[in-house]
């Protein structure tokens, strides 16, 4: 089967080192197997995303030398233009009796959530799952606009991650009924990512470990909608010397700053070294790393990023 991989960034700001690592390894995974690379723009949130930021993102990828075979700024690969597909999947879930409106405010959601033992995330406990029609009408009459959740089964689900190995969650207690449409009408990432990976024929998903805990819910949603889940490959987090996860707040690792300091080959070579693909942080083009790329070389533990 031909590998179809993707990079699916959100144009909500400039890319940072973690995004670049995901982009490079998704690209190497595809290119080392003669596959097809898709670039999808996850611009669902109109408050945070813009076409200008998406243009910048595409230009940053080009500067790095990472190319793609399908997508980019083409309208049909930008999620903001794909509502009809999310709507259709939502209706399918409604027909299956799996959707219910949730009227909780953010504060109520947090109060009605159980802390998730493993990572401190909160799990929705189903506060609105059994509201009567009359209760819903009363809440609507108060002017509350619901978000919509999907009801997950009381099932344990194991994802066989291609890099991290088996990862198991009990869907109802570790994940909980999750939002597929926000109260402002914006489609939720969890629904959109599943629909788009399926519709775009993506069978390899390479991305950061921060999304590992979302993968059982996504695999379940794929199956529920009648799709085959992709093979997931999650990358270790990038951390600083104190073991803290690097984030968008580390401005010195944002693409604007990195581009001012490095050539594309220096940056790619450094990332390739951090990812275990080459033994030294020497300059390289993405193409020069293809022949030495192997998943077995990529670390599983967090990757320490020293000073730049």
Residues of this chain that bind ligand GLU (CB under 6 A): 8-10, 42, 193, 207, 211
Residue 60 interacting partner from ligand GLU, Zn ion, none (CB closer than 5 to 8 Å by kind)? none
Nearest-approach distance from CB 108 to Zn ion, in angstroms: 7
DSSP reduced 3-state for 224: helix
From 113-121, 123-131, 200-208, 247-255, give the range in contact with Zn ion by CB under 5 A.
123-131
From 43-51, 103-111, 152-160, 279-287, give the range in contact with Zn ion by CB under 5 A.
103-111
Residue 102 interacting partner from Zn ion, ligand GLU, none (CB closer than 5 to 8 Å by kind)? Zn ion
Residues numbered 125 to 144 that lie near Zn ion (CB under 5 A) are 127-128
Nearest-approach distance from CB 122 to Zn ion, in angstroms: 13
Q: Which is nearer to ligand GLU, 21 or 128 (CB)?
A: 21
**CA dist., res. 114 & res. 129, Å (int):** 15
Position 179 contacts Zn ion (CB under 5 A): no
Residue 10 interacting partner from Zn ion, ligand GLU, none (CB closer than 5 to 8 Å by kind)? ligand GLU
Exposure string (b/e) for 176-199, b if CB count within 10 Å is 16 or more?
bbbbbbbbeebbbbbbbbbbbbbe
- Rounded to the nearest 5°, which phi and psi values hold at 234? -105, 135
* Nearest alpha-carbon partner for 23 in 196, 275, 300, 281: 275
DSSP annotation of 16: B
Q: Would you give the distance in Å from CA 162 to the centre of its chain?
A: 16
Both tokens of 38, joined, read 């898709």
**CA dihedral for 147, 152, 156, 161, sign (positive or negative):** negative
**CA dist., res. 5 & res. 23, Å (int):** 10
Residue 216 interacting partner from Zn ion, ligand GLU, none (CB closer than 5 to 8 Å by kind)? none
Residue 104 interacting partner from Zn ion, ligand GLU, none (CB closer than 5 to 8 Å by kind)? Zn ion
* Nearest alpha-carbon partner for 56 in 13, 8, 17: 13
Nearest-approach distance from CB 147 to ligand GLU, in angstroms: 19
**CA dist., res. 272 & res. 304, Å (int):** 13
Residue 231 interacting partner from ligand GLU, Zn ion, none (CB closer than 5 to 8 Å by kind)? none
Q: Which is nearer to Zn ion, 104 or 258 (CB)?
A: 104
Nearest-approach distance from CB 292 to ligand GLU, in angstroms: 24
Position among 23, 26, 38, 102 found at the interface with Zn ion (CB under 5 A) = 102
**CA dist., res. 138 & res. 131, Å (int):** 11
Name the burial class of residue 263, with classes exposed (0-12), middle (13-18) and buried (19+) by CB atoms within 10 angstroms of its CB.
exposed
Nearest-approach distance from CB 12 to ligand GLU, in angstroms: 8
Residue 128 interacting partner from ligand GLU, Zn ion, none (CB closer than 5 to 8 Å by kind)? Zn ion
Interface positions with Zn ion (CB under 5 A):
102, 104, 127-128
């Amino acid at each position: 089967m031909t590998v179809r991989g993707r990079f699916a960034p959100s144009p909500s700001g400039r890319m940072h080192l973690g995004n670049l690592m995901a982009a490079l390894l998704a690209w190497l995974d595809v290119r080392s197997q003669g596959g097809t690379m898709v670039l999808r723009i996850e611009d669902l949130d109109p408050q945070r995303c813009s076409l200008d930021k998406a243009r910048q993102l595409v230009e940053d990828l080009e500067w790095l030398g990472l190319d793609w075979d399908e997508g980019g700024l083409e309208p049909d690969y930008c999620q903001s233009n794909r509502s009809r597909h999310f709507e259709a999947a939502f209706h399918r879930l409604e027909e299956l009796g799996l959707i219910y409106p949730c009227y909780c405010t953010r504060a109520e959601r947090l109060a009605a959530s159980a802390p998730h033992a493993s990572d401190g995330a909160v799990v929705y406990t189903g506060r609105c799952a059994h509201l009567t029609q009359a209760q819903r009408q009363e809440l609507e009459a108060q002017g509350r606009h619901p978000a919509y959740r999907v009801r997950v089964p009381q099932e344990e689900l194991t994802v066989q991650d291609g890099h991290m190995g088996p990862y198991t969650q009990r869907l109802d207690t570790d994940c909980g009924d999750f939002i597929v449409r926000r109260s402002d009408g914006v489609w939720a990432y969890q629904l959109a990512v599943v629909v788009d990976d399926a519709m775009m024929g993506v069978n390899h998903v390479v991305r950061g470990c921060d999304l590992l805990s979302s993968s059982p819910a996504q695999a379940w949603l794929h199956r529920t909608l009648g799709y085959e889940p992709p093979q997931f490959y999650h990358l270790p987090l990038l951390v600083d010397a104190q073991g803290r996860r690097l984030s968008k707040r580390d401005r010195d690792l944002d693409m604007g700053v990195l581009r001012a300091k490095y050539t594309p080959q220096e940056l790619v070579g450094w990332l390739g070294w951090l990812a275990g693909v080459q033994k030294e942080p020497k300059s390289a083009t993405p193409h020069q790393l293809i022949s030495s790329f192997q998943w077995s070389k990529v670390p599983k533990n967090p990757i320490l990023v020293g000073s730049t």
